[in-house]
C-alpha cells in the first residue's frame, strides 16, 4: 500500500513540475516576441514606449509564474505598438 502511495505522490509532483514548465515556456516565448518587436524597423517613439512599459510587467509575471498576466502584458504592449502577437 505504501508503494502505491509513493508512486501516486511522485506522479503528482511530476505533473505539477511539468505544468509549471509549460507556463514558463509560454511566457518566455511571449517575451521573445516582445524582444523581437524592439528590432522592428522605423519603430515610432510611442510604440517603443508601449513595448518598454510591457516588459517589466511581463518579467514580473514570469517571476511569479503567472502566465496569464505575462501574456496579457506582452499582448497589450504589442497591440499598442501596432504589432501582432504570433
The band of 85, judged by pLDDT with boundaries at 50, 70 and 90, is confident
Containing structural domain, residue 82 = 24-86
CA distances from 64 to 28, 34, 70 (A): 13, 18, 9
Q: For residue 25, how far is the Cα from the chain centroid?
A: 7
Matching residue, cell 519603430: 43
Please give the average per-residue pLDDT across 71-84, as a whole number.
94
Q: Which three cell numbers, joined as nine digits, stand for 56?
A: 517589466
Q: How far apart are CA 28 and CA 43, in angstroms?
A: 22
In a domain? residue 6 = no
In a domain? residue 57 = yes
In a domain? residue 66 = yes
In a domain? residue 54 = yes
Q: Does the model's pTM come out above 0.85?
A: no
- Residue scoring higher pLDDT (3 or 83): 83
Q: How far apart are CA 84 and CA 25, in angstroms?
A: 19
User: Residue 4: what pLDDT?
Assistant: 55
Amino acid at each position: 500500500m505504501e508503494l502505491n502511495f509513493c508512486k501516486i505522490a511522485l506522479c503528482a509532483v511530476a505533473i505539477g513540475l511539468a505544468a509549471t514548465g509549460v507556463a514558463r515556456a509560454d511566457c518566455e516565448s511571449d517575451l521573445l516576441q516582445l524582444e523581437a518587436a524592439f528590432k522592428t524597423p522605423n519603430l515610432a517613439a510611442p510604440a517603443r514606449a508601449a513595448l518598454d512599459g510591457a516588459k517589466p510587467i511581463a518579467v514580473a509575471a514570469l517571476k511569479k509564474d503567472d502566465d496569464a498576466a505575462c501574456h496579457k502584458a506582452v499582448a497589450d504592449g504589442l497591440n499598442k505598438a501596432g504589432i501582432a502577437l504570433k
